[in-house]
Amino acid sequence: MGEYVAPLKDMRFVLNNIVDLNALSKLDGFEHAESDVVDAVLEEAGKFATNVLSPINKSGDLQGSHVKDAVVTTPDGWIDAYAQFVEGGWNGISAPEEFDGGGLPSAVALATVEMWNSANLAFSLCPLLTQGAIESLLAHGTEEQQQTYLKKLVSGEWAATMNLTESQAGSDVGALRSKAEPAEDGSWRISGQKIFITYGDHELSENIIHLVLARTPGAPAGTRGISLFIVPKFLVNDDGSLGARNDLKCVSLEEKIGIHASPTAVMSYGDEGNCVGYLIGGENKGMACMFTMMNSARLNVGVQGLAIAERAYQQAVEYARDRKQGQAPGMPKGEMAPIINHADVRRMLMTMKANIEAMRCLIYLNGECLDKAHHHPDETVRAESMGMAELLTPMSKGWSTDLGVELASIAVQIHGGMGFVEETGVGQYYRDARILPIYEGTNGIQALDLVGRKLGLNGGAPVKTILADMDIVVQELAQTGNEFTAMSLQLGLAVSALKEATDWLYTNAPNDPNAAPAGATPYLRMFSTVVGGYLLAKSALKAKNLLAAGDGDKGFLDAKIVTANFFTAQILPQATALLGPVTEGANTLFAITEEQLSA
C-alpha cells in the first residue's frame, strides 16, 4: 500500500475553473491569495500529508488511543506530527491575520483539509473541531474572550472540542440536562456528562477549550433554553498563562468500529462542584452560537467524505494495476491481465473517480460562496452568496459522506477477498468512513434541513439561482456540438426532474407534515447528484476550451471530458429516477404497523 499523494492537478483545476480563485484574490483580505502563492501552499501541504500524516495512519489505527486514570494517550507519532502541524502554521491558514492566521480563502483551506483527512482522518478530527471553535468565537465571543483564546487556537497550541451530546438526548439536543449555575465573579459552574466528544482529552496541545451546551436556572424547555459556555481544561490567567486544572475529566473512551486513533471521550464536568465556565453569546443563545461551529463542522465533515473516497480510490487504482487475474478480451491464452483491464473493474473505478471529482467541485464551490459572503464589498452579493452556501452545505455534508462510505466499499470490492483482510489496509477506509454520515447531524437531519429550511430560504432564491445556472449550462452543452449532445440531453432531463420534485415539495409540504420528511433523503441525493452533473459539465466545457487554446495538460483535460460523460451517462440517470421516491409521499411508510415491522 503506497502513501497518499495529493491530487494537486485536480485541486488546482477546480480552484481555477469551478471556483474563481482569481476573483477571490481581489477581495479585501485575500490579496495575497494569488495563484502562485496558493500553488506553493498546496504543494507544501501535499508534502506534509504524504510524508508526515500518511505514514502513521495505519499504525494509529492498530494502536489506537487509550485512557488510564483519566489521562488519554494517543498513538506513537501523534505528538510529533501535531507539533509539526502547529509549527507549519497549518491550523489557522484561513483564520484572520489579526489573530495570526493565514487569511487564505476557505476554498483554498478546504483543499488542505482534504489532504489532511485523506492522509489520516483520525488525526485530522482534532484540528477540525478547533476550526469550528475559532469560527464560533469570531462570531459570538466578546473582545476579551477573543483576545484570551483565539491566537492560541489559531496557532493550534490549544485545541478545542464541541460538547453537545448526552446519553439521553442524542440528536435531540433540546433534551440535554447539563447545568450551569452563576457564580459571584460572573463566571458559571458547569455540571453534567457529555458523550461522543471527539478529542475530549489528549496530550497533543497545551490546553483544550471545551465549548459546552448547558441549561441555566429557569431556562425555557427545549432548545430555546440552551446556553453555550467556554470551559477550559486549564484555566487561563490574566496574563495568558495557564493556571489551575479545571474540574473536568475524561471518564472513558468509546470502543469504535473505526477512527481508532481518535479519542472519542465521555466527559464529566463538575464532579467536585467547581467546573468553571464562561458564557459565550448570551444566555439562552447557545444553539445560535453552536450552529456557527456546527455549520463549519458539517462542511468539513463533507470534506472528510471526499477525502476518504480519494484515499480509497488511490489504493484501488494501484491494486487494480498490479493484481493480475483472468484474461482480457483479445489476450493470448495462458496470460493473465491486470484487473484494471476488466470492464466491471473499470466501471467501479470510474464510478469512484467521477463521484470524487463531482464532490470536490461541490465542496470547493461551497467554500467560495462562504468567502464571498464574508468578504465581497457588495451587500447584495454577500447575501446571495450566503444563501447559496447554506443551500449547498447539507448537500456537501450529506451526499459526500454517503458517497464516502459507498466508494470506500467499492474499493474493498475491487480488492476482492483481500479487501476483507486487514493486511491490505483498504478496510480501514471503509470502517473510518462509516461515522461520517452520523457526525454533526445525521444525514437524515441534513435532508430534513434541506427540504424544511433551505428550499424556502430567502423566498427560494438560492434554489431558483442554481436551477437557472443549470439551464444555462444545458444550453451551452447543446450549442457546443455533437461531442456534448448526449450530456446536454441527460443533464436537461435531470434538471427537469429536479424542478418537478422541488415544485412537488413546495406544493405538498405545507399540507402534509410527513410529505417532505418522507421524500427528504432521496431528494437530497437527487439534488446533489444533479449539482454534481452540472459542475462536471462545466468542467468539461472548460476543458474543451483549454484544449482548443492549447493550454494545459492534454491527457488530464481529455480525462475531464471523459469523466463528465461517464457521470452523465452512468450516474446522473439515477437522479432522474429518484423523482418517484421524492414525490411518493408518506403513505407507504406508515401503511405498516409497528407490530408488523417487528414481526
Task: Check if 440 is active-site.
Answer: yes
Reading the block at residue 485, the C-alpha cell is 449532445
Instruction: Please report which helix (H) or strand (E) contains residue 573, including its range.
Output: helix 572-577
Copy the grid coordinates of residue 247.
Answer: 474540574
Q: C-alpha cell of 426?
A: 483498504
Contacts of 530 by beta carbon, 8 Å cutoff, 6+ apart: 470, 491, 494, 495, 497, 498, 572, 575
Sign for the pseudo-dihedral over CA of 228, 398, 421, 77? negative
- SS3 annotation, 12-34: HHHHHHCCCHHHHCCCCCCCCCC
Partner residues linked to 214 by β-bridges: 227
Distance CA 279, CA 267 (A): 19
Query: What is the DSSP-derived secondary structure letter of residue 274?
Result: -
Distance from CA of residue 26 to its chain's centroid?
Answer: 27
Q: How far apart are CA 504 and CA 484, in angstroms?
A: 30
Rounded-to-integer distance, Cα 498 and Cα 530, Å: 8
Instruction: Please name which of 305, 310, 304 lies closest in space to residue 400, comparing C-alpha atoms.
Output: 305
Count, residues in the chain: 599
Q: How are the residues of the chain apportioned to helix, strand and coil, as percentages rounded to the nearest 5? A: 60, 10, 25
d(CA 325, CA 337): 6
Q: Quick check: 447 and 509 in contact, CB under 8 A?
A: no
| Amino acid identity at 198 | T
Which of the following is catalytic: 440, 483, 584, 594? 440
Q: Which helix (DSSP H) or strand (DSSP E) does residue 231 occupy? A: strand 227-232
* Total Cβ atoms within 10 A of residue 408: 29
Active site residues: 440
